[in-house]
Structure 1
Amino acid sequence: MSVTDRTVLLGGATSPSGLALARALVDAGARVIATGRSAERLQSLRSIGAQVEVADATSLEAMTELASRLDTVDAVIPLVGGWRGGGGLAGQSDDDFRALLPALDSVRATSRAFDAALRASDAGRFAIVSSTAVGRPLAGGANYAAVKAASEAWTRAVAQGFAKAARDAGEPLRAASVVFRAKALDPESLAPRVLALWDGDAADLNDQIVTLD
């Protein structure tokens, strides 16, 4: 198996990391569907060969509507992110926490909307980008680490759902859910790991936490 001819949805892909990952996937022969809330910001993704959709990756309604229009989806990678912190524990404001929540919202919305499609694929993949801060949270980044930890927990629940569905159907596991952890996200380290999601068996990949270089 390889990423060639796979349909990969990147949710909230208008960041530099989203553009770099989309380019790597297109160059590898994948069909990339990139979502964002701004048609203008999506133009750079369209220019490299991605199919673009103006849709909010944090909205279950928007993602469900998009899923209903797509024939096949082999992978979903939500890329909504951002960082706010500092000020020690007392400086972890509610406003900062709310500003970080869209990252978790996108993980929840995309995984729910595309769960059936990923399980129907012969090699479905769901992956998120988390942070090494989850393993060693600091007081000044407590809001950020908490949101990332929640995102990881949700992603591991997706993995358990894939495994249970396969067991209940008496079929081999074909879908896998993976967490990528990075200290500081570097598209040059993320892209090869995403391309390699189809190099191994889903049973070996499912529920793995992979630390990026």
Structure 2
Amino acid sequence: MSAGRALNVVVTGGSGPSGIAAARALRNAGHTVFTVGSDRPRIEAAAAEAGSGVTPLVCDLADLAEVRSLHASVHAMLAGTGGTVDGVIHLVGGWRGAKGITDQSDADWEFLERGAITTLRNVTRVFFDDLAASDAGRFAMVSSTAVSKPTAGGASYVAAKAAAEAWTLAVADGFHRGQSGHKQDPVEQHSAAVTFVVKALVDPAMRAKSPERTFPGFTDVEDLAAAAVGLFSSPAADLNGQRLLLGPEPKA
């Protein structure tokens, strides 16, 4: 469960609508929020939109050395409080598709591998020990319902998301082995890694641009943000390794 205190949460991929919504919701819940993007003007504007007190940080999350520098910067800012990082909400995304299998391009795969897999690998490797040590450690990523029903046109996208989900399950196993599953000295599970699953996300700008659309099956970014906040008040043992669907069940 939540430690009953203000937590320190990093939102990666914070420049987009989902990052802004998550940072705002976490800040409104009383947590200290660091929001991360690769473009300084965009992430600073996103942090300002999320609300006073959200700290913008610039990092290329696909560069391991930069992620290590990000980690050091966050720790330096928290040094005076005696705190460390309690949560990482990983919202780095991107879509590339094709007509079928034969025209899946290497350029699209490299883009998806970098955004969906490499960034997640780097962030979890660097922040794993923080989350494992926290009494309310949480990691979350966002995946797609398409992983359960891939299409030929979305092959590269779905393969990248499936790899990211598998890595997240491995992170969950790491938390389990170090806590409730520890053979010599088991303790109550207090850290968890989860995958949020959506068909697609929708935000106010998308609704305003296409007022005639109903976006069936889409998950509003505000609902994603609320789910991120809710992670910190749910038992880690119930969450760890779970694939949590946000939105209606996809049709068969």
Q: Which residue of 2 aligns with 1:179?
A: 195
Q: Residue 201 in 1 paired to residue 232 in 2?
A: no
Deviation (angstroms), 1:92: 1.1
Q: 1:10 touches 1:35 (CA, 8 Å); kept in 2?
A: yes
Give distance in 2, aligned partners of 1:196 and 1:4.
Answer: 14
**TM-score, reference length from structure 1:** 0.94
Alignment counterpart, residue 127 of structure 1, candidates 126, 131, 140: 140
Alignment counterpart, residue 155 of structure 2, candidates 142, 152, 162: 142
Deviation (angstroms), 1:58: 2.0
Deviation (angstroms), 1:195: 1.0
Give distance in 1, aligned partners of 2:221 and 2:243.
Answer: 18
How many residues are matched?
Answer: 213
* 1:7-60 CA-partner distances (Å, limit 9, x unpaired): 110112111111111111111111110111111001223322311111122222
Alignment counterpart, residue 58 of structure 1, candidates 59, 62, 81: 62
Q: 1:8 touches 1:75 (CA, 8 Å); kept in 2?
A: yes
* 1:59-88 CA-partner distances (Å, limit 9, x unpaired): 222222222331411111221111010211
What root-mean-square deviation, in Å, do the aligned CA atoms of Structure 1 and Structure 2 show? 1.5
**TM-score, reference length from structure 2:** 0.80
Deviation (angstroms), 1:125: 0.3
Alignment counterpart, residue 107 of structure 1, candidates 104, 110, 120: 120
Q: 1:19 touches 1:44 (CA, 8 Å); kept in 2?
A: no
Alignment counterpart, residue 171 of structure 2, candidates 150, 158, 174: 158
Select between 187-196 and 43-52 the one with higher mean Cα deviation: 43-52
| 1:159 aligned counterpart, secondary structure | helix
Q: Among the aligned pairs, what percent are the same residue?
A: 45
Alignment counterpart, residue 91 of structure 1, candidates 103, 121, 129: 103
Q: Tell me which amino acid in the other structure corresponds to 1:19.
A: I
Deviation (angstroms), 1:161: 0.4
Q: Tell me which amino acid in the other structure corresponds to 1:196.
A: G
Q: Tell me which amino acid in the other structure corresponds to 1:26.
A: R
Q: Which residue of 1 aligns with 2:37?
A: 36
Q: Tell me which amino acid in the other structure corresponds to 2:121.
A: R
Deviation (angstroms), 1:4: 6.0
Give distance in 1, aligned partners of 2:47 and 2:154.
Answer: 35
Q: 2:20 touches 2:47 (CA, 8 Å); kept in 1?
A: no
Q: Which residue of 1 aligns with 2:212?
A: none
Select between 127-136 and 65-74 the one with higher mean Cα deviation: 65-74
Give distance in 2, aligned partners of 1:183 and 1:88.
Answer: 20
Q: 1:60 touches 1:112 (CA, 8 Å); kept in 2?
A: no
Q: 1:12 touches 1:56 (CA, 8 Å); kept in 2?
A: no
Deviation (angstroms), 1:199: 2.2
Q: 1:130 touches 1:180 (CA, 8 Å); kept in 2?
A: yes
Give distance in 1, aligned partners of 2:233 and 2:8.
Answer: 16
| 1:140 aligned counterpart, secondary structure | coil
| 1:139 aligned counterpart, secondary structure | coil
Q: Tell me which amino acid in the other structure corresponds to 2:40.
A: A
Q: 2:89 touches 2:228 (CA, 8 Å); kept in 1?
A: no
Deviation (angstroms), 1:188: 2.2
Q: 2:193 touches 2:240 (CA, 8 Å); kept in 1?
A: yes
Give distance in 1, aligned partners of 2:42 and 2:35.
Answer: 11
Give distance in 1, aligned partners of 2:61 and 2:106.
Answer: 22
Give distance in 1, aligned partners of 2:190 and 2:246.
Answer: 24
